[in-house]
Amino acid sequence: MQILRLVLTLFMAVVILWVPSQTLTALERTLSEDEVKFTFFHLTDGESLLITTGRDKKILINTGSKESEEDLVSQLDELEVQQIDYLILTNKRETSCGNTDVIIDKYNVTNVVSSTNQPCVNIQTSNIQTEKWEKGQTYEPSPGLIFKVLKVNQQAENMSFYITFGKNSMVFMSEGNEAIEDIIKELPIQTEIIKIPDYAEKNFPSGELLDQLDPHIAIIYDLKDKKLHAGLIERMTELWIDVYHLKRVGTVQIIFTPSDYEFVRE
């Protein structure tokens, strides 16, 4: 059994190293009104996700660490982003909101959403609306794109999401612990995609939660000089989840249609 587990873990390591990265220019295509694209940016340090809808709405979740400013800005510019309608900040950690001031100044942000009454940046203009998203509530920043807020309590700094569009969904976990897992387990859901919390450093999600959610794809962002938790990688391998570690594969784009999802390829 130990040998089998070692072989599976090594196989998974090969898989996440092998998938080739592509330029964003090659991945671009025009969306129809009933499509939504998720761009999981590969950054040197930290996490950022751009959601682009076919109705010309752009929602950015987190901005990576300050060390990743050039990475993030260059990719947003390559995608010809000029305005961000919603900037969502899931917590106040530097690896989540290190470039918030830069993004606000450069991309004409109109709405800043945070998990508390005090976002990680001081908004100094009346042109930007600020909003705290509440635990258990649902929000619709673009028609058909639904966010359900998952938080341990109303005052919690971390904010996770259950995001749906058509028949597709994603669980965006901002923290890994038993408390947030218990909240997610109360939802009678399965999902296509899960964003792994805490840069896969910790042994979460648990096997029980992964069994319930039954995701096809796991996304892992990169935290500088940190290692993936071997037990977590082994668990996902045994469950036949396709793991995309952005440090290895580069930026990944996935399109949700009303009934299915697809990777954008050349």
Residue 146: pLDDT band by 50, 70, 90 thresholds? Answer: very high
DSSP three-state, residue 169? strand
- pLDDT, tens digit (0-9, with 9 covering 90-100), for 171-225: 999 999 999 999 999 998 999 999 999 999 999 999 999 999 999 999 999 998 8
- pLDDT, tens digit (0-9, with 9 covering 90-100), for 36-75: 999 999 999 999 999 999 999 999 999 999 999 999 999 9
> 170, 163, 169: which is closest to 146 by C-alpha?
163
At residue 120, does pLDDT exceed 90?
no
- The span from the CA of 111 to the CA of 103, in Å, is 12
At residue 6, does pLDDT exceed 90?
no
Identity of the residue numbered 199? Y
Identity of the residue numbered 250? G
DSSP one-letter code for 258: S
> At residue 127, what are phi and psi to the nearest 5 degrees?
-80, -10
Tokens of residue 47, six digits: 């996490």
Instruction: Look at the block and give the residue holding tokens 């009678």.
Output: 188
For every residue of 215-239, DSSP letters joined together read: -SEEEE-B-TT----HHHHHHHHHT
Task: Count the residues in the chain.
Answer: 266
Query: Is 208:182 a contact under the CB 8 Å cutoff?
Result: no
Residue spans per domain, the chain: 2-255
Write down the pLDDT at residue 124: 67
At the fourth CATH level, the homologous superfamily of domain 2-255 is: Ribonuclease Z/Hydroxyacylglutathione hydrolase-like (3.60.15.10)
Cβ neighbours of 180 (radius 10 Å): 22
- The span from the CA of 90 to the CA of 101, in Å, is 15
Its pTM stands at 0.90
At residue 126, does pLDDT exceed 50?
yes
**Taking residues 225-252, what's their average pLDDT?**
95
Query: Is 14:248 a contact under the CB 8 Å cutoff?
Result: no
| Helices and strands in the chain: count of H runs, count of E runs | 9, 15
Q: What strands, in cross-sheet order, belong to the sheet with 49-53?
A: 129-132, 111-114, 86-89, 58-61, 49-53, 36-40, 252-256, 261-263
- The span from the CA of 53 to the CA of 235, in Å, is 33
